[in-house]
Amino acid sequence: MRMLLAISTLIFGSCITAPAMADEDPRSPASLAATIAAVENGLVQAVSIAGEAAKTRTLEDEMARLHVPGVSIAVLDDGKIAWAKGYGVTRAGGPPITPDTIFQAASISKPVTALAALRLVNQGKLDLDRDVNEQLQGWKLAAPAGSHVTLRNLLSHTAGTTVSGFPGYSAGKPVPSIEDVLLGRSPAITKPILVDTQPGTVWRYSGGGTTVVQKLVGDATSRTFADVLRETVLDPVGMARSSFAQPLGETALQTAAWPHDAAGDPIPGGPHTYPELAAAGLWTTPSDLARFALAVRRAAIHAPDGLLPPALADAMLTPVKSDYALGFSIRVTSGVHSFSHSGSNAGYESMLVAFSGSGDGVVIMANGQQGGELIGELVHSVAVAYGWPGYRSIERPSIPVSADKAAKLAGEYQVQDRGTFSIAASAGQLSVSLKQGISEPLYAMSPDAYFILSRDRVFHIDDTGPTLKGRMVNGPLSVDFTKIQ
């Protein structure tokens, strides 16, 4: 198990859409084209080694290096979609990626679900701080004696619920009902969802908790989750290309982006099916998610046409624990607030970043398992091209690691509730594999802290005791791990 964290010819720059611009607009078509070119040619890794010049790469080269067949991007500038563009292909022999090509959004389904839930709170159908078991029908969420879980807990990953993420169901495999998933009952292949930590005490990412929200929405409205989400979010936002169809219909599959593994090979049978709609079931485009981000931003600035009243909009973007709010990670850089969420399904990677004040942002979706690294590089490139505060590549010092120390660190590690990863050593050089089939160099920045270049992730490892233990830090978020062999 690994953490949820070959096409030789790419059809590059296959399609682009951009709004018409008046002559007085400072971003003329020529300057927009230059900005797009700067993004496409300005990719750098998330981290560079101090004293070494960061290597700038092109999007085309990185798609080839990382075996990512297709990428789609939509950029927000001053509260509107400035441009959207597709690169590569949906699959070998398939159509080119365009701004209208749909991808699985994976965990970006969660903030979309959060907005729907908050709109139901505003309608009086749900309550942020009521015991969810009072509204859940039939199945109840098992929790420690004397405790209860609220919608606020579930949306902020502070409910103490189990099951971090979902692998989906490959073509031809039986697909469980939502009740099967909650109970961990066959044909579900994940464990039962329950509460094993006192609610409200810790932050722990839980797709299982979001699946409880899915049932809660259905029970509170007596309607299907997909219908409620279309009525409360997709249609009001204008997400015309989006749906929670699982599995996707045959006609839509013909032009959808198909998933690919780390080597660029197609996932057997095509897209996995995710009955956990709230946690991972959204099909969409970057442009539709950009419209969603703008709707959240309109609510955040208390616009008259906002989809949430000010109090609920503020709650949605106010951190509860570990800089995570109700559906989004929140970052403050030089006093500037941004909200974001990433997504990772089998063969798909995605990222949404938006600034609540300026209305700037970017949404990127890819149909390759190594798309996460590519997306990170694109976000950094957009940040530089548009002068964002933050989201730039960072420098870290690197020190040598002795062969004995490297050998001691090599092995398999269990991450609390998130699967496993491995560290390997060869001639004193460390490497780490966080996902199946993907390995990258691991560098030391101090005797007990290590880092990678593909993303802002630091491994703090204590090797003084009989068992190696540590903490993996991703910006404001962290998880504990232990060496198991």
For helices 207-221 and 109-122, the axis angle rounded to 10 degrees is 40
Count of CB atoms situated within 10 Å of the CB of 231: 14
Decide the pairing of beta strands 438-446 and 449-451.
antiparallel
Hey, what are 54's tokens?
């960061």
What whole-number distance in Å separates Cα of residue 255 and Cα of residue 83? 21
Question: What gap in Å lies between CA 428 and CA 119, rounded to an integer?
Answer: 55
Closest CA to 161 of 129, 194, 188: 194
Query: Residues of CATH 2.40.128 domain(s) within the chain?
Result: 397-483
CATH 3.40.710.10 domain residues, the chain: 104-385
Whether the bond between 26 and the residue before it is cis, its omega within 30 degrees of 0, is: no
CA torsion angle 86 88 94 98 (round to 10)? 10
212, HSE (Cβ side, Cα atoms, 13 Å): 34
Token reading at 102: 């749909």
CATH classification code of 397-483? 2.40.128
Per residue in 208-254, pLDDT (tens digit) is 999 999 999 999 999 999 999 999 999 999 999 999 999 999 999 99
CATH of domain 104-385: 3.40.710.10
pLDDT at 5: 38
Short-list 417, 453, 459, CA closest to 66: 453
| Model confidence pLDDT, tens digit, residues 162-180 | 999 999 999 999 999 999 9
Q: pTM of the prediction?
A: 0.90
pLDDT reported for residue 12: 40
Torsion angle of C-alpha atoms 84, 89, 94, 100, degrees rounded to 10: -10
DSSP annotation string for 151-181: HHHHHTT-S-B-------B-TTS----HHHH
**For the chain (length 485 residues), average pLDDT per consecutive 10?**
34 45 56 96 93 91 97 98 98 97 98 98 98 98 96 98 97 96 98 97 96 98 98 98 97 97 96 98 98 98 97 98 96 94 98 97 98 96 94 92 93 85 91 87 95 92 90 82 90
